[in-house]
Amino acid sequence: MSDFPTREVLLSILEMLKQQTIYLHRQHGWLIAVADTLRQQNAEIEKKLMQHPFYDLGPRPDIQITDATIRSIDGLIAQLKFLTG
């Protein structure tokens, strides 16, 4: 890719994507904290949460997924910066 403006736009997009990934991870943590707090306040709420169709009983590898995503984005940024010289 020899088009300098295109690379600069791609770098900007990747930086925005990285910031959004970090933000979404923080929001995910906040939602977990709210659910945990509600569960502690009322056992009936825990039952209702677990019955909700969006309740996920699977493992929560969110930190690993977020870290891997950020590493991938950083790798793409580094490649583009290298090409930009």
Average pLDDT estimate for 3-21: 92
Average pLDDT, the chain: 88
Give me the residue spans of the domains in the chain.
Answer: 4-84
Portion of the chain with pLDDT greater than 90, in percent: 48
> What gap in Å lies between CA 50 and CA 57, rounded to an integer?
8
What is the band of 2 on the pLDDT scale with cuts at 50, 70, 90? low
pTM, entire model:
0.74
Note the pLDDT tens digit of each residue in 19-48: 999 999 999 999 889 988 998 998 898 888
Task: Enumerate residues 6+ apart whose C-beta is below 8 A from 14.
Answer: 73, 76, 77, 80
pLDDT of residue 21: 95
